[in-house]
Amino acid sequence: MSQVVTQDEIESENPLVIKLQNGQTLNVASNEALEADEIPIIDVTGIYSYRLEDRQAVAEKVREAAHRIGFFYVINHGFDHRLAEGAFEQAKRFFRLPLEKKLEVDTRLVPKEYVGYHAMASYNRNGRKHNDLSEAFNFAYSAKQDPENSDADPGVSIWPPNLPGFKEGLYAYHTPMLQFARRMTKVFALALHLPETYFDEWIKRPEAGMRILHYPEQEASVDDQNGIGAHTDFECFTIVNQDMSGGLEVLSKSGRWIRAKPVPNSFVINIADCFMRQTNDYFVSTVHRVINKSGHERYSIPFFYGLDRRMPMVPIPSCVTEDRPAKYEVMTAGEYYLWRAKRAKQGNKVEND
């Protein structure tokens, strides 16, 4: 007897077809990544200048990168490298804990929020033969930790009870990163040919989550497994601090994977879905993944930055014309975030292999 095979089943078995949690289905030319210089390196010294023209000059470079590929490196960002070193050390401390200790802050304890521990190989974002080979710990914005917010609200995060210095060590990195992200929000406003203050009302209590990630070396082929499967991020933009192992890969418009090689003393910034929606697709929320074939463990620290959850995501006026009408229904940033968080936590979750 012949077996009826659905289109979904055919696609799930094809490693060149990617189903994303934002609803897109993509075809890639190959799962093997290329070396290319498509991701620009932007010197952001000018964002600290008192001269508007200096800040605008940086913003124009950001505009080009955000529109063309949605990814760019920033150098001369003014961030103290010792804070990053401290955060990476806290990540290693946490991931060295026994599994039962990490599961004391299992993300399932907070079903509606993307916080807590995400266990090793507990997701399969693209339906590969083996689950994604990584583990993570997420925590969210805390007004109590924000020097620009007088509210004492600690936020929704959960923390391991017997790991002294862990929370403090991560917020020592998170707080200055929050300030840098606020400054970059003004740069993005200029990049959209808006006043620098355009988003100010919505950055007083932003969506500003952070994640520490651990990737063991991956032995399976890229057709059978990812470190993290292909995806786009939820918020407005993400600032990634990665070690020198490599592994981050970006999907170009031609359907080829491009290696985002580590650049010393840089951050990688990528556009995320909320900015793509608000800019009516002028800014590109680019698909990316991680494949760790470095020969050793990899660690990274992405900082996910979005605007106040109460903000209605009305299209940016400069991105809507008669020839380019608005593409997306208006919802609040919070409504979109919670929808994506639920899909990310539950949509492709499977049992460990």
> In this structure, how many other beta carbons lie within 10 angstroms of the beta carbon of residue 204?
14
Residues 86-131 have pLDDT tens digits of 999 999 999 999 999 999 999 999 988 889 999 999 988 888 899 9
Task: Output the pLDDT for position 33.
Answer: 86
- Supply the pLDDT for residue 350: 41
For the stretch 167-179, pLDDT in tens is 999 999 999 999 9
Quick check: helix, strand or coil at residue 113? coil
The encoded tokens of residue 138 equal 């997420």
> Average pLDDT, whole number, for the chain?
89
Residues written for the chain: 353
Q: Are strands 298-306 and 237-242 parallel, antiparallel or unpaired?
A: antiparallel
- Domain range summary for the chain, segments of one domain joined by +: 7-347
Number of CB atoms found within 10 A of residue 193's CB:
15
Q: How far apart are CA 17 and CA 7, in angstroms?
A: 12
Task: Say if domain 7-347 classifies as CATH 2.60.120.330.
Answer: yes
CA geometry: angle 272, 126, 103, nearest 5 deg:
85
Is 19's pLDDT higher than 80?
no
242 vs 245: CA distance, rounded Å = 8
Condensed to tens digits (0 to 9), the pLDDT of residues 224-236 reads 999 999 999 989 9
Longest C-alpha distance within the chain, in Å? 75
Judge whether residue 149 has pLDDT over 50. Answer: yes
Q: What does the angle CA 34 – CA 38 – CA 42 come to, to the nearest 5 degrees?
A: 135
Count of CB atoms situated within 10 Å of the CB of 313 = 21
Q: What is the reported pLDDT for 104?
A: 97
* DSSP class per residue in 172-214: HHHHHHHHHHHHHHHHHHHHTTS-TTTTGGGSSS-EEEEEEEE
Q: CA 104 to CA 82: how far, in whole Å?
A: 29
Higher pLDDT, 16 or 71: 71
pLDDT at 62 over 70: yes
In whole angstroms, what is the distance from residue 152 CA to residue 332 CA?
24
Name which of 280, 270, 350, 269 is nearest 315 in CA terms.
280
Classify residue 273 as left (phi > 0), alpha (psi -120 to 50) or beta.
alpha
Over residues 287-333, the pLDDT tens digits come to: 999 999 999 999 999 999 999 999 999 999 889 998 889 999 999 98
With beta carbons less than 8 A apart as the criterion, state whether 213 and 95 touch. no
Better-predicted residue by pLDDT, 193 or 351: 193
